Amino acid sequence: MDLTDRPRRLRTDGIRPLVSETTLDATDLVAPVFVDATTDERVPIESMPGHERVPISEAAERVAEIRETGVEAVIVFGIPESKDAEGSRAYAEDGVVQEAVRRITAETDAYVITDVCLCEYTDHGHCGVLESHAEDDPTLTVENDPTLDLLTMTAVSHAAAGADMVAPSSMTDGMVGAIREGLDDAGYSDVPIMSYAAKYESAFYGPFRDAADGAPAFGDRRHYQMDPANAREAMREVALDVEQGADVLMVKPGLPYLDIVRAIRETWDHPVAAYNVSGEYAMLHAAAEKGWLDLDAVAHESLLSIKRAGADLIITYFAERVAEQLSSGR
């Protein structure tokens, strides 16, 4: 055979790492932290092996543990001590996230991102103010514009507590613009917004809803989260968030939506984030527990694929494990 092009020449041990097109680093990763105002001790999350809810008193300690692995950023989720129809503990000055952020920023050098939503704080589990009779009428769910006021109050309260970045996740129309205006008016013009710009109504969120106690009490979130069948709609959603002032554009979930990550990367020059969600994490753990997969190998390959698709940063429950793997050269 007279082959002029032999790709295998570049796959030998000496040259293979030199021509690798994508690299993964601990600084690409963001670790989720669940802070629970209802407990005085760490509580394991059964559907997410290796993860826990931590009390407010241990929030900074938990983040310090993450920092030791080389991961520099965390995203904080809160479980409040009480809930009501409008999620008032989400924007309370002494709320669980606000108190945790104060401790984390005072005691660590982590970059602190906060999730801005109401689902963990409402007694109905939806991401905003309910329309009248929503519980009895499947065509109704969340009132859009009144919800914007509460999201803005929440984001401003997080910034006041010391959050470095806020991340609105409710898929409420106009949320980025409302929060940007609220932050600027309150004197927090330097606090960036990472928008959950393309967030799908996904079946991969199940374990997270156990972790954050945020499952809907009735119905589902199809009226505000995106249809998994739609790609063009994602580009429209992202364009609106860019226009309203989003600084970072997120896709959630990650692995089932790599086409969306790639499309956003090729269309905008903003940083792109992807959320490697709880279901993606749990299914790999379940397969590894059966002996069907090498957990370290598939965790690394999963995150590498998200990076290769175009993500600049990845929120993942594998953050600590993969960071330690990278630092050890495994």
For residue 199, indicate whether it is catalytic: yes
Please tell me whether 16 is known to bind a ligand: no
Residue 131: name the closest of 119, 139, 123 by CA: 139
Q: Is 41 annotated as a binding residue?
A: no
**Cα 88–chain centre separation:** 22
Instruction: Tell whether 302 is in a known binding site.
Output: no
Asked whether residue 117 is marked as a ligand-binding residue, the answer is yes
260 Cβ neighbours under 8 A, 6+ residues apart: 198, 231, 234, 251
Residue 237 counted as an annotated binding residue = yes
Can you tell me whether residue 84 is helix, strand or coil?
strand
> Residue length, the chain?
330
The reply to whether 119 sits in an annotated binding site is: yes
SS3 18: helix
Rounded Cα distance between 242 and 246, Å, is 5
169 is in an annotated binding site: no
Beta strands in the chain (DSSP E): 29-36, 43-44, 52-55, 73-79, 111-116, 165-168, 194-199, 248-252, 272-276, 313-316
- Active-site choice (83, 252, 290, 307): 252
| Residue 228 neighbours by CB distance under 10 Å | 14
Residue 6 marked ligand-binding: no
The one catalytic residue among 83, 199, 290, 307: 199
- Is residue 290 flagged as an active site residue? no
Residue positions forming the annotated binding site for Zn(2+): 117, 119, 127
Residue positions forming the annotated binding site for Mg(2+): 237
Residue positions forming the annotated binding site: 117, 119, 127, 209, 221, 237, 278, 317
Residue positions forming the annotated binding site for 5-aminolevulinate: 209, 221, 278, 317
Which residues are annotated as catalytic? Answer: 199, 252
